[in-house]
Structure 1
Amino acid sequence: MKISTKGRYGLTIMIELAKRHGEGPISLKSIAQTNDLSEHYLEQLIAPLRNAGLVKSIRGAYGGYVLADQPSNITAGDVIRVLEGPITPVEGIEDEEPAKRELWIRIRDAIKDVLDSTTIDDLAKHSDDVVSDGYMFYI
């Protein structure tokens, strides 16, 4: 399973919101500038996150976005599923022979376990340790 920029940048948005949780709304422009990302691209990603109930938008001159729940209640899996779809390493697992099917199921379950046990709060607390060109997840 390969996570695209949608998933990676979506996690970036959520991490930035988690870092400043409780401080009021954060603009996408601020997140884009802090992370050297396209504000226009982030605008495309925030809509599904809002529709899924992971973030709330605040209108007005000092508006922006806030997390819809505590950072410790939102997992990386929540974000990845919204932006990337179902978590599966290969298509058509049910059509594989039993030995291969078992392997793909075990890989899928391991990925789900990591994503579902890693909260946005966990990522925000460790984001200073991550190199600027990506995240490193170990399974």
Structure 2
Amino acid sequence: MKISTKGRYGLMLMVDLAVHDDGQPVSLKSVAERQGLSEHYLEQLISPLRNAGFVRSVRGAYGGYQLTKAASDISVLDLFSLLEGPLQFAEKDIEDGLGQLWTRMEQALQSVLGSLSLADLVSFRQSDEHGYMFYI
């Protein structure tokens, strides 16, 4: 299984909105500049996120997008499921004798992604930016 640019960029967009969630809407242009992404592509990604209720749009000269929920209430699994569709390692009808393996791998992936919130990703990002070094 490979996560597409739709999933990766959608997640980058949502993390950026969470990082810059100060009560003011965030423009897609500013996200595109910070993340080095195409503004046009972000416009395509924001629509399903808005329709699913993860973000809301604010019109006007200082408009943009805001999260509709706290970052801690948005799971990575929910975002990937929306943007990527079902997370599967193999087609369910494959008769290769490995069905239990694929099922267990999917369950493990869903468990990990379901346990991570957008707030967790913001926290990971901030620790990376501060250059924390851990030595054992």
The reply to whether residue 117 of structure 1 matches residue 102 of structure 2 is: no
Q: Which protein has the larger Cα radius of gyration, Structure 1 or Structure 2? A: 2
Q: Scaled by the length of structure 2, what TM-score is found? A: 0.89
| Identity within the alignment, % | 51
Superposition pairs of residues 13-32 of structure 1, within 5 angstroms: 13-32=13-32
Partner-residue secondary structure (3-state), 1:66:
strand
Count of aligned residue pairs for this structure pair: 128
| Alignment of structure 1 residues 1-139 onto 2, 5 Å | 1-91=1-91, 93-96=92-95, 99-128=97-126, 129=128
Per the alignment, residue 133 of structure 1 pairs with none
TM-score (norm 1): 0.87
What code does the residue aligned with 1:112 have?
Q
- 1:23-61 Cα offsets, whole Å, 9 max, x none, are 310000000000111000000000000011111111111
1:68-91 Cα offsets, whole Å, 9 max, x none, are 100000011111111110111111
Paired residue secondary structure (1:34): helix
SS at match of 2:10: helix
5+ long unaligned stretches in structure 1: 131-139
Q: 2:134: which partner in 1?
A: none
- Please tell me the root mean square deviation across aligned C-alpha atoms, in Å: 1.3
